[in-house]
Structure 1
Amino acid sequence: GLSAMPSTHLFDNYGILEGRGLNLLRGFTNSLFVATFSTVLAVYFSLMTAYGIVVYNFRGKRFFTSFVILLVLIPLQLSIIGFYQFMSRIGLTDNYASLILPVIASAGAVFFGKQYFESVVVHDLIDAGRVDGAGEFGIFHRIMMPIAVPGAVTLGIFAFAAAWNNFFNAFILISSIEKYTLPMLVQLMRGDVYRTEYGAIYLGLAVTIVPIIIIYLIFSRYIVNGIAMGAVKE
């Protein structure tokens, strides 16, 4: 039957993982490092790009917006070979930078930020900031970012979950087992041909979903508000 308390097999399963050389703590730390930096960069640069699209008029604005939408529709798998070759050429394979840097140009995050800013941007506040002598970066950081907190938190939750669960990129770009993220370690728990330790696998899966649940419980009140405001264009 089901029990709220873990059984003694919990430590047995953890021992199985340790016996196979799979360090869950190290994988957890690696995933947390990648997901944290990816989230911060994705939220900041995506919102800055989206703010520029919404607020400023420039030549090729409509084409750039359409190009962002097109990038959202293109599967990651279509570009992974070229991306791997580029990372190899600049010496960033088997490096966390190859997992973190691409989120700076996350088309999906930019599109979400654009939709959100279209519903919350108040041009009178921007004009007032300019009259008071604030620079464009100052207006973005001091006026618009505080207004965009619900959207930023919502985007951050999605970005963290995507980076935390990112197996495909890590599988292609990371080769050293000490740099494996948690999803990669879970994939290694499948066992050999003759025996699969399902208890150890489920332990790894449980550890994998814990951070996502915690972050959702802490910031869930922002999600509905952020998505709802991003869906309304005034």
Structure 2
Amino acid sequence: MKSNTIVKGILYAVLILLVIISFIPFYMMIINATRSNSEILQHGFTMLPGSSLMANYEVLIQYMNLWRGFANSLFVAVMVTVLSSYFSALTAFGFAVYKFKGKNVLFVFMLLLMMVPGQLGLIGFYDLIRTMGLLDTYIPLIIPPIAAPFVVFFLRQYLKTVMHPSLLEAARIDGAGEFRIFHKIGLPMMMPAVATMAIFTFIGSWNNYILPLVVLFSPEKYTLPVMMGALRGSQVAENLGSMYLGIAISVVPIMIAFLFLSKYIISSISAGAVKE
């Protein structure tokens, strides 16, 4: 009994240490966002915040439309997350529940697509959307991510562990249609896994830099990562406090999304651990 207590104490100590180590970069970022450029260069890192937060903010907004970029990124990330979560869940439900010709071939093909880096098709994708007249719009940023092979694969594997075929049979006997079965049975059962994938989808879309840089030309349509990247060649890049403030603002939605949805990660991972 005593040895178990010692082991638990060591594990908790290690976990607390890892949390502190993980939190330090964020704390440094927030603290430096409140300090002037000279304070950062002369004194390095300090635990105490400075008094230059508003000055850094005023410098930052002189060189970029910060909140317009924030709104653009939020719109794209939310749309991608919602559409990808719904249609990926619908596709995963089809692969997990129905039997049709070519099902295994399509699933293997989908897995192969997971191995192909998206950057390889960037030139062809650019030519395609240019031909379709979709350059400088958000459509190329929102529609293609709906087909997310890894999300479909994850949700399909999750659904096969938690849903028993008898539930579907009972619903069909009661006269429920297939879409009603999906919305009333399949989707609620997949919600922990959907929320887990929504976190990573939102983070990936929010941090997406290459594709918005290629397809967007109007500065008022830039997403926040593109705006932050454009600052590297401007005078504001010499003000480290302003750069830290811009980065801090850009990571706030990610932290909020993870804070509210992280509890689903544990439930989705542990769902298939116990067999009945």
State the TM-score bracket (shorter-chain normalisation). Answer: over 0.9
RMSD, aligned α-carbons = 2.0
Residues 237 and 243 in structure 2, CA contact (< 8 A), matched pair in contact too: no
CA distance in 1, matches of 2:237, 2:207: 26
Distance 1:132 1:97, change over 3 A: same
The one of 187, 193, 196 aligned to 1:151: 193
The question of 1:172 aligning with 2:172 is answered no
Q: Give the CA deviation at 1:177.
A: 0.7
TM normalised by structure 1 equals 0.93
Greater mean alpha carbon deviation, residues 115-124 or residues 31-40: 115-124
The question of 1:58 aligning with 2:100 is answered yes
For structure 1, the 5+ residue unaligned runs are none
TM normalised by structure 2 equals 0.79
Q: Give the CA deviation at 1:191.
A: 3.7
1:83 maps to what in 2?
Answer: 125
1:10 maps to what in 2?
Answer: 53
Structure 2 counterparts to residues 8-157 of structure 1, below 5 A: 8-20=51-63, 22-157=64-199
Residues 117 and 230 in structure 1, CA contact (< 8 A), matched pair in contact too: no
Greater mean alpha carbon deviation, residues 198-207 or residues 133-142: 198-207
SS for the counterpart of 2:232 is coil
CA distance in 2, matches of 1:230, 1:188: 45
Residues 236 and 243 in structure 2, CA contact (< 8 A), matched pair in contact too: no
> What are the superposed Cα offsets for residues 189-210 of structure 1, whole Å, 9 maximum, x if unpaired?
2244896222221111101111
SS for the counterpart of 1:170 is helix
SS for the counterpart of 1:94 is coil
> What are the superposed Cα offsets for residues 140-177 of structure 1, whole Å, 9 maximum, x if unpaired?
00111111111111111111111111111111111111
1:205 maps to what in 2?
Answer: 247
1:214 maps to what in 2?
Answer: 256
Q: 1:227 is matched by which residue type in structure 2? A: I
CA distance in 2, matches of 1:199, 1:217: 26
Distance 1:233 1:211, change over 3 A: farther
Distance 1:25 1:2, change over 3 A: same
* Aligned residues with identical type, % of pairs: 45
The question of 1:196 aligning with 2:241 is answered no
Greater mean alpha carbon deviation, residues 26-35 or residues 182-191: 182-191
Residues 190 and 197 in structure 1, CA contact (< 8 A), matched pair in contact too: no
SS for the counterpart of 2:136 is coil
Q: Give the CA deviation at 1:106.
A: 1.1
2:41 maps to what in 1?
Answer: none
Distance 1:157 1:178, change over 3 A: same
CA distance in 2, matches of 1:97, 1:194: 31
Residues 99 and 170 in structure 1, CA contact (< 8 A), matched pair in contact too: yes
